[in-house]
Structure 1
Amino acid sequence: MNRLSAAVLGLASICFLTSSAESCSRVLWNDNGWSVVVGRNMDWFEDIRSNIWMLPRGMERNGLSEENPLRWKSKYGSIVVTTYDVGTADGINEKGLAGHLLYLPETTVGPRDESIPGLSMSMWVQYYLDQFATVQEAVDSFKTNPYQLRMAVEPTSGKPATVHIALNDPSGDSAIMECLNGKFRVYHSREYVVMTNQPTFDKQLANLKQYRAFGGDKPLPGSTEPADRFIRGAYYVENLPKPKSDREAIAAMMSVMRNVSAPFGISNPERPN
């Protein structure tokens, strides 16, 4: 399957799953021999009034920081799903780079250093979709284009929008990005195919090793807690049968996302993760 087909398939998975499920998880299937597919569930305590936007190349952007905002012009067009129309939660650009924003309570941005351009979390995913064609390009950009992440505020509750993001591309490459005490942690590997919420990604990886399918002796966990959903997502995507068509690939991914989603009716405003 070519890059464009893989990108379109990924977008179909993003858009459908974002609108039809609740639990906040991202799963990437990049070793099925047919296509690269990503699934994403959204877990939140209210309707986030999502809209789908088509954004063109050439848009003048800024990072929405009061002092010294990061500035750029969009190099690539993208299709995105918004939260409250104030930020991009999920999207894919014309080169097939896709981004996904999930809740992470541990996120902290640290004090402002005005000598470094600032980027609001509401623009975090969009910055990468606008500027880069691959995960490798996005990860490498930290070396030449530093920025300081700034906290956004969830518009209805006024609470800090503490998040982390995942990036993936049609080659199957993947990166998880977190910000703790103002310091970035970037986990870059094709093997990093699952992201949920807390704990931080390093602790999720350590926890994974305690379960039977990953070297430990614990049975597969069953709760809707983020750490349990992480284990199930990793287990299920590893054991999917090889697809023979786009339809089978999408159906297989949907089966995984249903198994890591939270049923309707159990959302909690105090624990949106």
Structure 2
Amino acid sequence: MCTRVLNNLNRKYIATARNMDWMFPLPTSLFTFDKGLNKIGMPISDNKTDNEKALKWCSKYASVVAMVGDEQSGWASSDGMNSMGLAANVLYDCNATYAKDQPCKEGQLSVLRWVQYVLDNFVFVKEVVSEFEQQKIELVSADVPNSDGKPATLHLSISDVTGNSAIIEVYNGQFYIHSKDEYVVMTNDPSYDKQLKIDAYWKWQWSDENIAASHTIPGGPFSADRFERALFYISHMNAPTSHDEALAQAKSVVANACVPLGYNVQMTESPNISNTLWTTLVSHNEQKYYFSNARTTNTVWVDLQTFDFNEPVKRLDMVTISSANQVINNSYEGQVNELLTPVLDPYSPNLFIPDEICRIGA
């Protein structure tokens, strides 16, 4: 489920591509958030003590985020970019485990709000790494919205305008971080340290040091197959000479890691293989965020450099699911800055009181 590829072959033109794979369609919307907004790391509870435990912050940067869910089932930040060109993506990780009510933690953060916290607060990968190396935050489990109670077991990838990269995994409530600019591909399982060991074998297969070098790659839909296939292509490319070429390369590589719609392996046989629902692309230096629904022929994008934040939070529904369980794939095309409409902030500590103090002080 899911593949992420970072194209940092030319540091003037950085692009990140990501496939979102899931076992059935999910309602999905693009949200834009202005900077200077009060945020809370957990859903508001009737229990005052629970609210006091939640991590709270004021966003430093604007962002555009692909969110799954709706008002009834809640929202989950799946993928996005901030106004400084930092990209964050959460992918399925069946090995992830979260410990509850850990001592000496400074605040609780729902795994569904992990992406938003990162985009709101940081510019560079090294800053994110420093934050989570301190083990101060308690990441709290939650269910994927509109997914019949399936747990959101996730790990995080981040990439920035310098071409740096990191993968953050969580086991028993502790963060395990892999950060190098050469860590450009991420899939689902096994854990990233094991993926790197598998990768060492394939790199030996491709190396000229191997007298019987084989430039073959695995062709299956499994996580390790997709990991090596994407890494093979991104490692055998010429450096791009423009933003458009960097995006096109990243898009074509991640397309080779898609699981086609209609692929009918039974989930009971392969529970970690799902169809690709949509793909996002980030042009880091341009602050442009692209969204492509697998069930439509169009690609849309939000340009954060020219976005009009006349309202603090806006939304555009890309995929909706009706009360009759009918999936509606909304078909837009091109830049959609003007199509997003004002909504309440789903991550505000109080949805009904404007965040004027935070906004004025930002």
Same fold (TM over 0.5): yes
The residue number in structure 2 matching 1:245 is: 242
When normalised by structure 1's length, the TM-score is 0.85
The residue number in structure 2 matching 1:170 is: 161
Q: 1:103 to 1:145 in 2, by over 3 A?
A: closer
Bigger Rg, which one? 2
Aligned equivalent of 1:83, options 68, 93, 100: 68
Q: Which amino acid aligns with 1:138?
A: V
User: Given that residues 50 and 84 in structure 1 are in contact (C-alpha distance below 8 angstroms), is that contact kept between their aligned partners in structure 2?
Assistant: yes
Query: Sequence identity, in percent?
Result: 36
User: Given that residues 155 and 170 in structure 2 are in contact (C-alpha distance below 8 angstroms), is that contact kept between their aligned partners in structure 1?
Assistant: yes
User: Given that residues 5 and 185 in structure 2 are in contact (C-alpha distance below 8 angstroms), is that contact kept between their aligned partners in structure 1?
Assistant: yes
> 3-state DSSP class of the match of 2:28?
coil
User: Given that residues 9 and 240 in structure 2 are in contact (C-alpha distance below 8 angstroms), is that contact kept between their aligned partners in structure 1?
Assistant: no
Establish whether residue 153 from structure 1 lines up as the match of residue 143 from structure 2.
yes
> 3-state DSSP class of the match of 2:22?
coil
The residue number in structure 1 matching 2:259 is: 262
User: Given that residues 133 and 175 in structure 2 are in contact (C-alpha distance below 8 angstroms), is that contact kept between their aligned partners in structure 1?
Assistant: no
User: Given that residues 33 and 242 in structure 1 are in contact (C-alpha distance below 8 angstroms), is that contact kept between their aligned partners in structure 2?
Assistant: no
Higher percent of residues as strand: 2
When normalised by structure 2's length, the TM-score is 0.65
Q: Which amino acid aligns with 1:139?
A: V
Instruction: State the aligned residue count.
Output: 251
Establish whether residue 193 from structure 1 lines up as the match of residue 184 from structure 2.
yes
Establish whether residue 29 from structure 1 lines up as the match of residue 19 from structure 2.
no
**CA deviation digits over 1:137-187, x for unaligned, max 9?**
111123567111110112331021101010000100111000012111011
Q: 1:139 to 1:224 in 2, by over 3 A?
A: same
Higher percent of residues as helix: 1
> 3-state DSSP class of the match of 1:76?
coil
**CA deviation digits over 1:71-125, x for unaligned, max 9?**
1111111011111141111111111111001001001012322652111100111
Establish whether residue 54 from structure 1 lines up as the match of residue 32 from structure 2.
yes
> 3-state DSSP class of the match of 1:43?
strand
The residue number in structure 2 matching 1:99 is: 88
RMSD over equivalenced CA pairs, Å: 2.0
Aligned partners of 2:133 and 2:224: how far apart in 1?
31
Structure 1, unaligned stretches of length 5 or more?
A: 1-22
Establish whether residue 131 from structure 1 lines up as the match of residue 121 from structure 2.
yes
Q: Which amino acid aligns with 2:263?
A: I
Q: CA deviation at 1:32?
A: 2.8
User: Given that residues 100 and 125 in structure 1 are in contact (C-alpha distance below 8 angstroms), is that contact kept between their aligned partners in structure 2?
Assistant: yes
Aligned partners of 1:51 and 1:154: how far apart in 2?
15
**CA deviation digits over 1:188-207, x for unaligned, max 9?**
11011000011110110011
Q: Which amino acid aligns with 1:81?
A: A
> 3-state DSSP class of the match of 1:48?
coil
Q: CA deviation at 1:242?
A: 2.6
Structure 2, unaligned stretches of length 5 or more?
A: 44-49, 274-362
